[in-house]
């Protein structure tokens, strides 16, 4: 019995040892299986996460939300609101209901813009400020290379510095007289822009404004070109440019009319005006120059507009130009410049970050001569002062005053006097996105 019990104890001890060995092997196998499963799961999840990240639409904020997809689509709403008020004096003997105080919604733009995969881009925008909706920008772009871009649709021909600068960023509530008198407007056409280093070349062929496309008499065409040299000089920005424009009216019964309001847009009155001048074509050329150095800037333009009249009529050439200078009173602020035009002012200390924003004062001499070859539309010498407050990147308040001297004016004052002066004061509140 004792021997049998000892044998049984030995067998039981061997079995216990074997069980311990098997349990150890089982634990090791479980650990290896779990590690393999975890690695496989991680390897499978990584591409899925990457795919999810790649297909996710990103949203940035640039005055308004801008949506960007991984495959290159972008979409951004855009718009602007400009509320104007102003007053203009009336010379003795000229009675017009539009003089005195007036106010208006100057612009109310709504639209969108973005990019399409393959190098394409688009913009669509309308102005709803007037009683009728007006198309402003409506075009498609193609970026052929880093330097070369093509545009087709309704957009601005390449007139000059101030005209091509957005109406969001001028020095005064309205552009200089030369930029409103000679019929500058957006037109439907195709154009190309080449930009490399300090050189910018722009050119295109255009027909009339989109509003006239359904008019059976719409048959004019134009060719417009512009060249800009804009090097950096130390910390300053120099701008030198020139442009040429040929507009064929393509209708022997056509006419042109050059006129301008007194500094502000609220009064519907023009003291200088050529009236309707029969014309076959127009040929214009302009020069432009500007310089930005810290808080200071200076800019000037000159434009000559020659009218080709039918038959033996003498062809008049009209001239306009301006010179302006501006200075920021707030430390660290400067005028923006990009792509051959003035750009957005971004206050160094905006209101939303506890600062006061940017304050700028501007002066301008504004000249326009609409007298030549028997056409007496009048001359204007404008002496103008403006103050611009930019609280944030996307808000602006402006105040502009002008003392305007007219000679041989289109509208006669008392006793037929056509030499007199007018004072104009305008204000604007603006927001854009």
- pLDDT, position 96: 73
- pLDDT, position 94: 82
How does pLDDT run along the chain (433 residues), one tens digit per residue?
A: 667 666 666 666 666 666 667 567 666 666 666 666 565 555 555 454 444 445 588 999 888 999 999 898 999 999 999 999 999 998 887 877 778 999 999 999 999 999 999 999 999 999 999 878 999 999 999 999 999 999 999 999 999 999 999 999 999 999 999 999 999 999 999 999 999 999 999 999 999 999 887 665 668 999 999 999 999 999 999 999 999 999 999 987 899 999 999 999 999 999 999 999 999 999 999 999 999 999 999 999 999 999 999 999 999 999 999 999 999 999 999 999 999 999 999 999 999 999 999 999 999 999 999 999 999 999 999 999 999 999 999 999 999 999 999 999 999 988 899 999 999 999 999 999 9
Query: CA 62 → CA 59, 66, 358, distances in Å?
Result: 10, 7, 19
Report DSSP letters for 198-264, one per residue.
TEEEEEEEE-S-GGGTT-TT---EEEEEEEEE--EETTEEEEEEEEEEEEE---TT-EE--EE-SSS
Enumerate the domain spans of the chain.
Answer: 57-432
Query: Under DSSP, is residue 294 helix (H, G, I), strand (E, B) or coil?
Result: coil
Listed residue (225, 81, 240, 62) closest to 167, CA to CA: 81
Listed residue (398, 396, 369) closest to 382, CA to CA: 369
- pLDDT, position 39: 57
User: What are the tokens at 280?
Assistant: 């076959």
Of the candidate CATH numbers 3.40.50.300, 3.40.50.2300, 2.40.160.10, 3.10.20.90, the domain formed by 57-432 belongs to 2.40.160.10
Q: Which residue has the tokens 């003997």?
A: 93
d(C-alpha 149, C-alpha 192), whole Å:
6
- pLDDT, position 66: 93
Q: Which residue has the tokens 């004062």?
A: 361
Listed residue (131, 141, 72, 66) closest to 105, CA to CA: 131
- pLDDT, position 165: 98
Task: Specify the DSSP class assigned to residue 373.
Answer: T
Q: Judge contact between 76 and 65, C-beta under 8 A.
A: yes
């Amino acid at each position: 019995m004792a021997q049998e019990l000892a044998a049984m104890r030995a067998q039981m001890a061997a079995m216990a040892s074997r069980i311990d060995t098997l349990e150890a092997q089982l634990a090791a196998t479980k650990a290896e299986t779990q590690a393999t499963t975890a690695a496989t799961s991680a390897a499978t999840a990584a591409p899925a996460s990457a795919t999810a990240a790649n297909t996710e639409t990103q949203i940035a904020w640039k005055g308004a939300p801008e949506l960007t997809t991984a495959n290159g689509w972008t979409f951004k709403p855009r718009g602007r609101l400009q509320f104007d008020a102003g007053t203009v004096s009336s010379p003795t003997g000229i009675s017009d209901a539009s003089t005195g105080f007036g106010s208006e919604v100057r612009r109310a733009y709504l639209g969108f813009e973005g990019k399409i995969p393959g190098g394409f881009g688009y913009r669509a925008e309308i102005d709803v400020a007037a009683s009728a909706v007006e198309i402003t920008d409506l075009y498609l772009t193609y970026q052929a290379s880093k330097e070369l871009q093509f545009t087709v649709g309704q957009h601005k021909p390449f007139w000059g510095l101030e005209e091509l600068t957005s109406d969001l960023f001028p020095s005064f509530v309205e552009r200089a007289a030369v930029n409103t008198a000679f019929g500058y407007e957006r037109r439907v056409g195709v154009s190309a822009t080449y930009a490399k280093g300090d050189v910018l070349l722009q050119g295109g062929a255009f027909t009339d404004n989109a509003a006239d496309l359904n008019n059976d008499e719409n048959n004019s065409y134009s060719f417009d070109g512009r060249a800009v040299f804009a090097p950096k000089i130390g910390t300053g920005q120099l701008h030198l440019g020139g442009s040429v424009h040929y507009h064929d009216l393509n209708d022997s019964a056509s006419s042109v009319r050059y006129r301008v309001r007194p500094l502000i847009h609220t009064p519907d009155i023009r003291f200088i005006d050529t009236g309707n001048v029969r014309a076959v074509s127009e040929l214009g050329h302009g020069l432009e120059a500007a310089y930005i150095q810290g808080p200071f800037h200076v800019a000037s333009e000159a434009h000559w507009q020659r009218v080709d009249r039918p038959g033996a009529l003498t062809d008049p050439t009209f001239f306009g130009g301006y010179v302006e200078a501006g200075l920021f009173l707030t430390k660290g602020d400067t005028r923006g410049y990009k792509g051959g035009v003035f750009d957005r002012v971004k206050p160094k200390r905006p209101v939303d970050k506890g600062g006061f924003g940017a304050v700028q004062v501007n002066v301008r001499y504004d000249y326009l001569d609409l007298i030549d070859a028997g056409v007496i539309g009048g001359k204007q010498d404008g002496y103008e002062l403006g103050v611009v407050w930019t609280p944030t990147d996307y808000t602006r308040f402006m105040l502009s005053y002008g003392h305007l001297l007219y000679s041989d004016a289109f509208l006669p004052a008392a006793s037929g006097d056509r030499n007199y002066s007018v004072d104009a004061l305008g204000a604007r509140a603006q927001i854009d996105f």
